[in-house]
Amino acid sequence: MAKLYFNYSAMNAGKSTLLLQASYNYQERGMNTLLFTAAVDDRTKVGEIASRIGLKTDAMIFDDNTDMFQAIKVEKDTGPLHAVLVDEAQFLNETQVWQLAHVADRLGLPVMCYGLRTDFQGKLFPGSSALLALADNIREVRTICWCGRKATMVARLDENGRIVEEGDQVVIGGQDTYTSLCRKHWALRQLGPDDCAPTPTKPIVEPQGDS
Share of the chain above pLDDT 90, in %: 48
Indicate the CATH number for domain 4-142.
Answer: 3.40.50.300
Angle, helices 94-106/126-134, rounded to nearest 10 degrees: 30
DSSP state of 108: -
What pLDDT score does 205 carry? 46
Is the model's pLDDT at 42 over the cut of 80? Answer: no
- For 153-203, what is each residue's pLDDT tens digit? 888 888 777 888 776 555 555 556 778 888 898 888 888 887 765 544 554
Alpha carbons 25 and 152: distance in angstroms, whole number: 28
Going from N- to C-terminal start, the domains of the chain cover 4-142
State whether residue 130 is helix, strand or coil: helix
Strand segments, DSSP code E, in 48-129 are 48-50, 56-58, 60-62, 83-86, 111-116
Lowest mean pLDDT of 7-11, 83-87, 195-199, name the range. Answer: 195-199
Residues known to be catalytic: 88
What pLDDT score does 169 carry? 55
What pLDDT score does 209 carry? 53
- For 98-112, what is each residue's pLDDT tens digit? 999 999 999 999 999
Alpha carbons 187 and 99: distance in angstroms, whole number: 36
Burial group, residue 208, by CB count within 10 angstroms (0-12, 13-18, 19+): exposed
Query: In angstroms, what CA-CA distances link 75 with 93, 109, 138, 144?
Result: 21, 12, 26, 38
Is the model's pLDDT at 126 over the cut of 80? Answer: yes
